[in-house]
Amino acid sequence: MTSKSFSKLTSKGERKNIEFKENLNSDPHLLTERKQQLASQMKYRLARGNGEAIYFVGVDDDGLLVGLEKEQMDESLFVLGELAREIKAKIINVEKQNAGQGEVAKVIINREQNSKPDHLLIGVAGHVDHGKSTLVGTLTTGKLDTGSGSTRIFLDVQKHEIERGLSADLSFAVYGFKNGETIRIRNPLNKGDKALMVEKCDKLISFVDTVGHEPWLRTTIRGIVGQKLTHGLLVVAADQGPTHITREHLGIILAMELPVIVVMTKIDRVSEDQIQAVRQEIFDLLKLVGRIPYMVKNMENADFLSENMNQHLVPVIKASPVTGEGLELLDRLFSGLKIPSHEEDFQKPFMMYIDKIYSVMGVGTVVSGTIRQGKVEKGEKLILGPLSSGDFLPVNVKTIEMHHYRKESASVGEVVGISITGVEMDEIRRGMIICHPDYKPQPVREFDADVAILVHPTTIKEGYECITHIETIAETTCFRPLGQEYLSAGDTGQVRMRFKYHPFAIHEGQKLIFREGKSKGVGTVTRIAS
């Protein structure tokens, strides 16, 4: 960086996470009272910068590059390092250049990251207007709803979503626990507050709030299939009971082999008789699919289930975001749920399926998703693809954020946004992967799968086309039954599947869901065709 570019940055003045210091000395700047003032100032800059602060040393309050002699600069950098240690931060980069009477330095300070918090990633599903977003909004903030869905605004960030009261895309929300105490977020729409949750909590609960409206079922499938979820949370309104969409969403959760929690909402709107009737409907539905429902009535029940929950045992909780009933039971259940071990996946090379692609001013192109395996670090060289040609492009990791908290690294199970260089935004598609070269991905056009046909009005023969969902992939595929001429509803069998338009990076063992009109089925990738 040239002196001219330093001048350009400082001419804009102090702002957000940028601070000017002409000169710093151990005496007086490290004396108790002054040290506390400067440390608080640094803490403020770090908060404004989501964990990163930039100090220009040798610059006066007006942004003029004054410059310091070497001894003065060394002393100033020493003082900055001491101030950083005081608030558990550290200097990660120093860039110097000649200016004024000596040197000017640009110093980047990052907040030291806590040991990685335990992290549960919960997919929230259920019929439209059954109270999914309202429940999540109340849980994460602790603010009771007015009865009109007032807390859902914390999740519906698009203007048309707020106006219509319908979610049109996946929403993410977070709260957590510290030493067993519930930590709620003050304002989920504030990036700084979200970042603070990541810093404060030793256990994080991230919710992926899916779409309940039938026309957007594809988005719901992406939310459940495309994230590395630890649990599914199914919401059923007491004034309606389970609907066909409820059953559809439950089927998707079970197809992914996720443990499921059922919450009966809107209990403040109906009689006790209605609550008991819907409870029975829920129990009958769960028993029909081979699950064991367990009504959570008190803290002892919640503790038992958090300790013993599995794919077969399903907690059922009555809750009202209006009165607050049942919310403490949910807190207790979430606080005690076991965190899946990712040790085996942690040792593997980094890989993440791309869910969203967007551009951030001053940052550049960002890809987001849930890390499937391994660890990624800031500055790392990765590859991204496959392109339509089957090639993978080299990219560089510029920054990593989790719930707007700037991180030096991230690992398996974390939902992150990674800003990258080396690729144009229009070259990236949802369903691509970003990974370490050691992952050695291969572009796949054809693969075999064991499938079960759940619903289909006629027969599936060679040439049948549908949308197949694998991870964040949603692609038209062509079917060819293997070993039999056709498949009908209720049949299981093996098929050859071919991505119609683009290759993707997939592997054996991955779960898939396919749909076309009212037809639907599930399956598992068994072999990659050469």
446-528: same fold as 3-111?
A: no
Contact 230, 121 (CB under 8 A): yes
Of the pLDDT bands very low, low, confident and very high (cuts 50, 70, 90), residue 212 is very low
Mean per-residue pLDDT, 501-530: 91
pLDDT higher than threshold 80 for residue 493: yes
| Residues 383-399 pLDDT 10s | 999 999 999 999 999 99
| Residues 436-455 pLDDT 10s | 999 999 999 999 999 999 88
Contact 335, 281 (CB under 8 A): no
Angle between helices 327-336 and 299-308 (to 10 degrees): 30
pLDDT of 160 reads 35
Grouping H, G, I as helix, E, B as strand and the rest as coil, residue 465 is strand
| Residues 462-478 pLDDT 10s | 999 999 999 999 999 99
Mean pLDDT of the chain: 87
pLDDT higher than threshold 50 for residue 187: yes
- Report domain 343-439's class: mainly beta
The number of residues making up the chain comes to 530
pLDDT of 382 reads 97
Q: What is the DSSP string of 71-83?
A: HHHHHHHHHHHHH
Alpha carbon distance 260, 230 (integer Å): 9
| Residues 130-173 pLDDT 10s | 888 899 999 999 999 887 666 655 554 444 333 444 444 567 78
Alpha carbon distance 84, 68 (integer Å): 21
Which stretches of 256-324 are DSSP H helices?
272-288, 299-308
pLDDT of 158 reads 42
Cα Rg of the chain, angstroms: 26
Distance, first Cα to last Cα, the chain:
49
What superfamily in CATH does domain 446-528 come from?
A: Translation factors (2.40.30.10)
Out of 3.40.50.2300, 3.30.70.870, 3.40.50.300, 3.30.43.10, the CATH code matching 118-336 is: 3.40.50.300
Q: Out of 188-192, 247-251, 326-330, 478-482, which region has the weakest mean confidence (pLDDT)?
A: 188-192
Q: What are phi and psi for residue 221, nearest 5 degrees?
A: -60, -40
Of the pLDDT bands very low, low, confident and very high (cuts 50, 70, 90), residue 520 is confident
pTM score: 0.70
Q: What are phi and psi for residue 41, nearest 5 degrees?
A: -60, -45
**Extents of the domains making up the chain:** 3-111, 118-336, 343-439, 446-528
What percentage of the chain reaches a pLDDT higher than 70? 90
To which residue do tokens 């289909």 refer?
A: 456
Q: Fill in the DSSP letter of residue 290.
A: T
State the architecture of 3-111 in CATH terms: 2-Layer Sandwich (3.30)
pLDDT higher than threshold 90 for residue 241: yes
Classify each residue of 130-165 as buried b or exposed e, where b means 16 or more C-beta atoms within 10 Å of its C-beta: bbbbbbbbbbbbbeebeeebbbbbbbbeeeebeeee
Beta strand 313-318 with 260-265: parallel, antiparallel or unpaired? Answer: parallel
